[in-house]
Amino acid sequence: MTVMKTSLTVKNKGTPNVEVSPREELVLLALYGKELYGLQIPQAMQEASGGTRQMGIGTLYPVLHSLEKKGLVESRWGDEGREERGGARRRYYKLTGAGVTTLEAIQSFRSNLVAWQPI
């Protein structure tokens, strides 16, 4: 009975409502608790992994678009155009409530999976 309860809890807590690919998950992790603009996301990944993980812009922009469509990430324009960007504004991304919930669910699922022991 206890085993059944545990597996149910894992299923309820750990299964995200939206399907998220590994790349999308990485972007969600990078955006957790902060607001970043496009170029800062690959930079965060590179620095956090000590240069072993990289994400090119060819992957980043479609991933951000997909996450926005799924409602996990929201974006806003920066206040003003910058000289170093040829007058263009920055677009800042952050997690939505659903994004945070999904990410926490994924994390919980992972930790439960690591802790799971066969009886």
The contact set with other proteins (CB under 8 A) reads: 38-39, 56-58, 61-62, 65-66, 69, 81-86, 88-91
Q: Tokens for 6, please give them.
A: 């545990």
Q: What is the largest CA-CA distance in the chain?
A: 64
Closest distance to other proteins from the beta carbon of 41 (Å):
11
C-beta of 60 vs 95, nearer to other proteins: 60
State the minimum distance, in angstroms, from the CB of residue 16 to other proteins. Answer: 18
CB of 93 to other proteins, least distance (A): 10
Which two structure tokens, joined as six digits, stand for 117? 């022991």
If the CB atoms of residues 2 and 84 are measured against other proteins, the closer one turns out to be 84
8 A C-beta contact, residue 39 and residue 54:
no
**From CA 88, how far away is CA 52, in angstroms rounded?**
31
Q: Are 71 and 63 in contact (CB under 8 A)?
A: no
Min dist CB 113 to other proteins, Å, is 29
Query: Is 73 in a helix, a strand, or coil?
Result: strand
Nearer to other proteins, 43 or 108 (CB): 43
Measure the CA–CA gap between 71 and 37, rounded to whole angstroms: 17
- 64 or 105: CB nearest other proteins: 64
